[in-house]
Structure 1
Amino acid sequence: MTFSISARCARTGQFGIAVSSSSPCVAARCAHARAGVGAVATQNITDPTLGPRGLDLMASGLSAPQALARLRTEGAHIDYRQVALVDARGRTAGFSGPRTLGTHHVAEGEDVVAAGNLLSSPQVPQAMIEAFARAHGPLGDRLIAAMKAALDAGGEEGPVHSVGMLIVDEVSWPVADLRVDWHETDPIGALADLWELWKPQMEAYVARALDPSTAPSYGVPGDR
């Protein structure tokens, strides 16, 4: 019931993850990223604890494949889990347990890994990888392109209703944490619109947090 893409931007060092599902509020459970460390998607019969645990393992110095090996050893009910990781050097790893739902697949590329279950086709994750590689511009643009490519390749067996995108940079908090927790017809289109709204403002909000005295004004009524 989920497809996701986790990626590192080789130019900026940002990490990002985008994930969509037929169930509500998917990003709250499945999307995990940490600045300077990497990104982890945990999905299928989701265990949200695998995200922070995978990040902790990579922060300790393990590669994405090594961290995944530990998760598979330590995680409860791992046969039901689907996990995808990318680390600080762009190494990737993905796993689909034998009890992963429906048609499922994991695809990996340079700095990027995509995974999905209950898919209309096993080719969906590879289509996401290829779209990410073709796309240019900010990391968020490339993640959105991959999510649109997933839909074009058939997406899930049924319609998706929620989506989220998480991006981390040099600061300790996410610079983008955008969610469409339920949409009847086009959550990925709604996310793309939300990203276009947030993208030109993202750096200004970081600047305001770090030093309000030199940061841009908000440009809203009442702001002096």
Structure 2
Amino acid sequence: MTFSIVGRCAQTGQFGIAISSSSIAVGARCPWLRAGVGAVATQNVTLPALGPQILDLLESAQLEPAAALDRALGANAWSEYRQVTVIDARGRTAFFSGKEALGTYHAVAGTQCVAAGNMLADKGVIEAMVPAFENAEGLLADRLLAAMHAAMDAGGEAGPVHSAALKIVGDLSWPIVDLRVDWADADPIGQVDRLWQAYKPQMQDYVTRALDPTAAPSYGVPGDE
């Protein structure tokens, strides 16, 4: 039903998540990120609360990802239905797939990344994502999307994919990238990629606008904000 990759850029310290699902609006429930702290993808039969709970444990309790994941799962019911991945500010990762995860499920950790999915065409879908991320060039978003395309090339989900999202945090308290396709009959990952290609040359401009409106460029459209 869902596959995702959580990654960190060692050069910038940015965290990012790219995710897709056969369900509607996967970006509304599953990706959770906090600047300087980490990123969490909570999927399968999703409990959104796990995202902020794990991030709180990484930040306030200074737990390692595996310990934070274990504590959060232990504090909530129905953990056997959850699939969760975590990365922290040191690039350490953890993942969990409950025994009630749907269909064929799998998770793989790599360098500065961890990928996971359920209802997969086969486990090779997830195994394709990690090297695609590790070997891709460009910004963190480019590398995350390369992993998503590799997953689709390897077979993707057992059924159609209908929603996708890309979310990235840097040094600021808000996401610097937050792009979503909440429902598409075909190719939501490709649609998110096209959104990213349009947004990429403007990304820094929107940060400038927020921090110094006097230096903010205008794109000359009515209601430009």
Fold match (TM-score > 0.5): yes
Correspondences of 1:34-183 after superposition (within 5 Å): 34-60=34-60, 61-183=62-184
Task: Please name the residue that 2:209 is paired with.
Answer: 208
CA 1:222–1:117 in 2, change beyond 3 Å: closer, same or farther?
closer
TM-score normalised by the chain length of structure 2: 0.96
> Which residue type is aligned with residue 192 of structure 1?
D
Q: In the aligned structure 1, how far is the partner of 2:223 from the partner of 2:22?
A: 41
Does the 8 Å CA contact 2:27/2:165 hold for their aligned counterparts? Answer: yes
For structure 1, list consecutive stretches of 5 or more residues without a partner in the other structure.
none
Q: In the aligned structure 2, how far is the partner of 1:186 from the partner of 1:207?
A: 32
SS of equivalent to 1:40: strand
Moved segments of 4+, more than 6 Å: none
Q: In the aligned structure 1, how far is the partner of 2:149 from the partner of 2:211?
A: 34
CA distances 1:67-105 after superposition (whole Å, capped 9, x unpaired)? 112122212210100000000000000000011111000
SS of equivalent to 1:94: strand
Task: Please name the residue that 1:16 is paired with.
Answer: 16
Q: CA RMSD in A?
A: 1.2
Deviation of 1:110 after TM superposition, in Å, equals 1.1
Q: In the aligned structure 1, how far is the partner of 2:68 from the partner of 2:204?
A: 31
SS of equivalent to 2:29: helix
Q: Percent of pairs identical after alignment?
A: 61
TM-score normalised by the chain length of structure 1: 0.97
Task: Please name the residue that 1:6 is paired with.
Answer: 6
> Which residue type is aligned with residue 51 of structure 2?
G
> Which residue type is aligned with residue 133 of structure 1?
E
Q: In the aligned structure 2, how far is the partner of 1:136 from the partner of 1:43?
A: 27
> Which residue type is aligned with residue 4 of structure 1?
S
